[in-house]
Amino acid sequence: MEKVGFVPRFVAYIIDAIIVGIVVGIIGAVFGMLGSDTLVLLGSLVGFVVGFGYYVYFWGATGQTPGKSIMKIKIVPTDGSAMTIGKAVMRLIGYFVSIVFVYLGFLWILFDANKQGWHDKIAGTYVVKA
């Protein structure tokens, strides 16, 4: 199991961010055209749920988002078990923790012996070559 470092993971993240950004942007535009502040707020909530669901679904189902698939990498639990929705949710919560501290949790990958970010440590996962 060859663990993957920062650069391929970052490229996969950018690919996924573009995909999610386009979908959420379309949702926001549709709700925004409806004109009501309440509907705009609802559109933001729907966009958040779609973004959250994107990562949880792909991570939980296969360990690979489209971005990770393009980069030929995947997420695996450190104990060798299969990915689960629970691990995917924990990893996404870890993403928020990694972001809150000025993205330090992502930069941690550069220095960690197991190439784990804080989100990986929180969820008990590695990112490996697929």
Q: Per residue in 85-110, pLDDT tens?
A: 999 999 999 999 999 999 999 999 99
In a domain, 94, yes or no: yes
In a domain, 43, yes or no: yes
Residue with tokens 């559109």: 43
pLDDT band of residue 17 (cuts 50, 70, 90) is very high
Q: Specify the DSSP class assigned to residue 110.
A: G
What is the rounded (10 degree) CA torsion for 108, 114, 119, 121? Answer: -120
In a domain, 47, yes or no: yes
pLDDT band of residue 112 (cuts 50, 70, 90) is very high
Measured distance CA(125)–CA(95) in Å, rounded: 13
In a domain, 97, yes or no: yes
In a domain, 1, yes or no: no
How high does pLDDT run on average in the chain? 95
In a domain, 102, yes or no: yes
In a domain, 71, yes or no: yes
Cα separations in angstroms, 71 against 8, 42, 61, 116: 6, 34, 17, 17
Q: Per residue in 22-55, pLDDT tens?
A: 999 999 888 888 878 888 889 889 999 999 999 9
Domains identified in the chain, total number: 1
Domain membership of residue 106 as a residue range = 6-129
Q: Specify the DSSP class assigned to residue 126.
A: E
pTM: 0.92
